[in-house]
Amino acid sequence: MSESSQISNLKSQISVGIIGSGTMGIGIAQVAATNNYKVFLYDQNSSQTEKSLEGLQKVLDRLVEKNKIGFEESENIYNRIKFCTELKDLKDCDLVIEAIIENKEIKQKVFADLEEIVSNDCVLATNTSSISITSISADLKNSERFLGIHFFNPAPLMPLVEIIPGLLTAENLPQKIYDLMKSWGKIPVIAQDIPGFIVNRIARPFYGEALRIVEEKIATPAQVDEAMRTIGNFKMGPFELMDLIGIDINFAVTETVYKDYFYDPKYKPSLLQHRMSEAKLLGRKIGKGFYDYSDASQDSRNKNQDNKDEKLFNEIFLRIISMLINEAVEAKRLKLASDEDLELAMQKGVNYPKGLLAWGKEIGYKKVSETLQNLYETYQEERYRQSPLLRKM
């Protein structure tokens, strides 16, 4: 394969294949189809594709009702997505984005099969949240055409896309995909192939520390969510967000980041989340997670019947935000991205109300450092170690 032919295909009208029609796959399909691309959507479970396409129809109907798009346009978007029942239906695609289960071996097998089906010019991408791009592609016949294109949930609404070259990716492919994502109206950032990339590395404590607070019975999920929404102005608290992401997916990401950083205690997963995952209490997608979604009329954001203790809420917020700011400062120290991209990534990928570096300045880095020091002295755990840069800021 010549690199140039692989790339030039992307400039003209291309067909996009998507593998996995769950939460992310259908969202990415909507984004591509809205941008006039023909989409081939395949899932090993056809009933999932049917369910997702029904869901998409409802989303498009709502957009028409709200006058965001015209009726004809909504029909065109829907009709651009072709329901595929076999992987080989993706044979003519120029770009395939995989969004299946977060499992390295299963992803590797899908790409090995796909390589036998698509042309040698087809660009292969994974939407993995945390698995090493290099490792997924290492056994491919042609690893140069492989990279990570990481959309955020919900893909049609979250502007950020992390583009992640692996060690074996062709040098100019990330820029081409960067340009393509820009043309889809996205905000792309180029990330390094490290566990969690940018956003999912920095965001780990948003979930991990919240889970820890609940595991220690310091507060309930509803109290933590309310503290983060009211004091931090987060659109969603950690537990609502985990329910939206999927408890299994969020747990798998944490577990991968932890293992891939050679069991760094900072990223230690939560037993509570593990048990929830084992119990298949996976969040919104099954109707029950930390909250119960069986009654559609209930708004999960107003569920805090527990004590609204102001002092407790302030402590919860300060503890979680300090952990997050520490991660952002460490990412800055390690030059994982420019300061500007670090700030952009958290606001455009996971909807944080402010960039974490700016937030650290506002709260005062000294206060953040003291909060972590107190936690360290209380628990005597490496989990609370500070970035060497934090004390200098």
Residue with Cβ nearer ligand NAD (20 or 238): 20
Q: Given strand 160-165, what is the order of strands in its sheet? A: 81-84, 38-42, 15-19, 95-98, 123-126, 146-151, 160-165, 187-190
Alpha-carbon gap, residue 176 to 278, rounded angstroms = 40
Ramachandran angles phi, psi of 146, nearest 5°: -110, 140
Q: Which of 11, 85, 106, 167 binds ligand NAD (CB under 6 A)?
A: 106
Binding of ligand NAD at residue 273 (CB under 6 A)? no
Which residue type sits at 124?
A: L
Identify which range of 66-74, 146-154, 178-186, 362-370 contacts ligand NAD by CB under 6 A.
146-154
CA–CA gap between residue 197 and residue 102 (Å, rounded): 15
34 versus 128: smaller Cβ distance to ligand NAD: 128
Cβ proximity to ligand NAD: between 230 and 287 the closer is 287
Residue 308 backbone dihedrals phi, psi, to 5 degrees: -100, 70
What is the CA 125 to chain-centroid distance, rounded? 15
How far apart are alpha carbons 223 and 229 in whole angstroms? 10
84, 41 Cβ separation under 8 angstroms: yes
Indicate whether 128 belongs to the interface with ligand NAD (CB under 6 A): yes
What is the smallest separation between the CB atom of 252 and ligand NAD, expressed in angstroms?
7
Distances (CA, A) of 118 to 94, 95, 270, 279, 295: 8, 9, 40, 38, 44
Using rule CB under 6 A, residue 44 touches ligand NAD = yes
Closer to ligand NAD by Cβ: residue 173 or 253: 253
Rounded to a whole number of angstroms, the minimum distance from the CB of residue 348 to ligand NAD is 13
We find the least distance from the C-beta atom of residue 180 to ligand NAD, in angstroms, to be 18
Active site residue 162: yes
Residue 43 near ligand NAD by CB under 6 A = yes
User: Which of 150, 322, 343, 369 is an active site residue?
Assistant: 150
Which range in 16-24, 212-220, 304-312, 339-347 contacts ligand NAD by CB under 6 A? Answer: 16-24
Q: Does 101 bind ligand NAD (CB under 6 A)?
A: yes
| Nearest Cα residue to 350 out of 194, 219, 242 | 242
Residues 6+ apart with CB under 8 A from 41: 17, 18, 21, 25, 26, 29, 49, 52, 53, 81, 82, 83, 84
Question: Can residue 162 be called a binding residue for ligand NAD (CB under 6 A)?
Answer: no
Q: How big is the chain by its Cα radius of gyration, in Å?
A: 21
Spatial CA neighbour of 25 closest among 5, 4, 45:
45
Residue type for position 112: A
Token output for 356: 């974490």
Closest CA to 43 of 86, 2, 7, 78: 86
Q: Out of 17, 22, 166, 208, name the contact with ligand NAD by CB under 6 A.
A: 22
Size of the site for ligand NAD (CB under 6 A): 26
Which of these is catalytic: 21, 127, 129, 304?
129
Binding of residue 247 to ligand NAD (CB under 6 A) = no
Catalytic residue among 162, 240, 255, 343: 162
Q: Please confirm, yes or no, whether 8 is among the known catalytic residues.
A: no
Is residue 74 involved in binding ligand NAD (CB under 6 A)? no
Task: Check 9, 137, 143, 200 and give the catalytic one.
Answer: 200
Question: Which of 16, 100, 247, 368: binder of ligand NAD (CB under 6 A)?
Answer: 100
Which DSSP helix (H) or strand (E) runs through 287? none
**Choice from 21, 34, 132, 223 touching ligand NAD (CB under 6 A):** 21
**Is 20 among the residues that bind ligand NAD (CB under 6 A)?**
yes
Between 157 and 271, CB nearer to ligand NAD: 157
Tokens 């959309």 belong to 151
Least gap, CB of 327 to ligand NAD (angstroms): 18
Question: Residue 126 pairs with which residues in a beta bridge?
Answer: 98, 148
Residues carrying an active site annotation: 129, 150, 162, 200
Instruction: Write out the residues near ligand NAD by the rule CB under 6 A.
Output: 19-25, 43-45, 48, 99-102, 106, 110, 127-129, 151-153, 245-246, 249
